Amino acid sequence: MTILLAVFLLTMLVITAVAIVRTRDLFAAVMLLGIFSLLMAANFFVLDAADVALTEAAVGAGISTVLFLGALALTAARERESGDSRWLPLVVVVIMAATVVYATFDKPALGDPNAPVHQHVAPWYLSETPRLIDIPNVVTAVLGSYRGYDTLGEVFVVFTAGIAVLFLLGSGRPGELFSRPPDELSTGGLKHHLIPRVVGKLLIPFIILFGLYVQFHGEYGPGGGFQAGAIIAAGVILYALLEGETRALAALPESALKVMVIGGALLYTLVGVVCMLMGGNFLDYSVLSTNSVAGQQLGIILIEAGVGLAVTGVLLSIFHAFAARATA
Amino acid sequence: MFITVSIAILVTMALAIIRALRGPSIYDRILAVNMFGTKTVLLVSVVAFLFGRPDFLDLALAYALINFIGVLAVLEFFQSRSLRRELGAAQQRDSL
């Protein structure tokens, strides 16, 4: 059943991807990218990777469409026809694809218990996590503790990407995501549409609450800082769409976003430094408390909070940067 | 029973993709994406029970909560674009 579902979803994924590449209508491409992301998340879910699926869901379903539309507002509606011959790129892509498909023949079958990936460190993680960290979601244990260095690296990648986008777009004066004429509607947002406004505003507290649940329930179920950050950012973006950028920035000003971005990355690093000062290795949370299991859990909660702050801050800064650019 | 339901949902997803690919109007595509999102929520819920992992319903909940934000952004995008076009047309009339 897993195979059947995965093959069906992947076939639709290929069809969508080809359509995205072929279409010249950029708006259609944005809509199809939304479908692409939904298909990808469903596929991750069918393969039992709930944490990854939740990330893809949180980023793909809400935020990436909004950011793509922000980019579309800055550019033309249609892609320009390029006069270059497309045969050479096509040949290169076909050869690469054939090589990759050929390579998969040597791959162990899906779910094969003898596959190298299930024989390397995974059994150790599964057998030792209850003793060392005592949380049910082993994925969070791997991300937060065993591979804490890698996750720290990921946070810095998000941090750097955020800075790079802000450099490119410039953080000018605050504006609306979609520029509008200077008339009575210039306050922005979907203020004059009662139904989206009432329903949307009712939903915002629940979105934020769910984000906090994902943040703090990450040790027990799918979730963690990355997913929670994206969900909370989606809630604030919904507020900005309904009430206008100006009010969203008044509620959560750019200075606060900067503190979140920098503070999140610093919090993660500081946890590691404190571990060293207390006599352990960098990011070895066992020394944070007299009981090493409690120390591990405390460390994971702290670094996940850092991740959540940084991701929320970066996503919202990028959103506001697009909006400021569209108005300028 | 879950298998029958999931196959039905997959067929609906395929139909929504066909509509999103063929268009022709932007509203067809918006509705197709919105419907595809709803079907993903349903598929995730059904598959969660099919595989005996009902705790994964969190994922369906996340979708249900934030799936419509993209559609709202699309609506605002077109609202502001048509306003700008009207203003541009009015300015052209004035200058004539």
Name the residue among A57, A176, A189 with its Cβ closest to that of B59.
A57
Rounded Cα distance between A200 and A207, Å, is 10
Rounded Cα distance between A77 and A56, Å, is 26
DSSP string across A204-241 = HHHHHHHHHHHHHTTTTSS--HHHHHHHHHHHHHHHHH
Rounded Cα distance between A125 and A136, Å, is 12
How close is the nearest chain B Cα to the Cα of A4, in Å?
10
**A250 part of contact set with chain B, CB < 8 Å:** no
Cβ–Cβ < 8 Å for A23, B27: no
ipTM score for this prediction: 0.86
Rounded Cα distance between B83 and A240, Å, is 19
Cβ–Cβ < 8 Å for A51, A219: no
Rounded Cα distance between A230 and A318, Å, is 12
**B77 part of contact set with chain A, CB < 8 Å:** yes
**A319 part of contact set with chain B, CB < 8 Å:** no
The DSSP 8-state label assigned to residue B18 in this structure reads H
Written as six digits, the tokens of A234 are 């989606």
Rounded Cα distance between A325 and A322, Å, is 5
Cβ–Cβ < 8 Å for A137, A219: yes
Provide the domain count of chain B.
1
Question: How confident is the model over B12-71, as pLDDT tens digits?
Answer: 999 999 988 887 888 888 888 888 888 988 988 888 888 887 777 888 888 888 888 888
Cβ–Cβ < 8 Å for A65, A96: no
Written as six digits, the tokens of A327 are 């108005």
**Interchain pair B40, A185: CB under 8 A:** no
**Domain, as residue range, for B8:** 2-95
Task: Identify the CA nearest to B81 among candidates A67, A69, A316, A170.
Answer: A69
Q: Which amino acid is at A276?
A: M
**Interchain pair B32, A238: CB under 8 A:** no
Mutate to test the interface with B, among A1, A13, A35, A186 (most CBs of B within 10 A): A35
Q: Which amino acid is at A80?
A: R
Which residues of chain A from 216 to 235 reach within 8 Å of chain B, CB to CB? 217, 221-223, 227, 231, 234-235
Interface contacts (A, B; CB < 8 Å)? 159
Mutate to test the interface with A, among B58, B67, B74, B91 (most CBs of A within 10 A): B58
B45 conformational bin, left if phi > 0, alpha if psi -120 to 50, beta if neither: alpha
How close is the nearest chain B Cα to the Cα of A288, in Å?
31
How close is the nearest chain A Cα to the Cα of B38, in Å?
10
User: pLDDT (tens digit, 0 to 9) for every residue of chain A, 328 residues total?
Assistant: 778 888 889 999 999 999 998 888 888 888 888 889 888 988 888 888 888 888 888 888 778 888 888 888 887 777 777 777 778 888 999 999 999 999 988 888 877 888 887 888 888 888 888 888 888 888 888 888 888 889 999 999 999 998 888 888 765 555 556 655 444 344 455 666 788 888 888 889 999 999 999 898 888 878 788 889 999 999 998 888 888 888 888 888 888 888 999 999 999 999 999 988 888 888 888 888 888 888 888 888 899 999 999 999 999 988 888 877 766 5
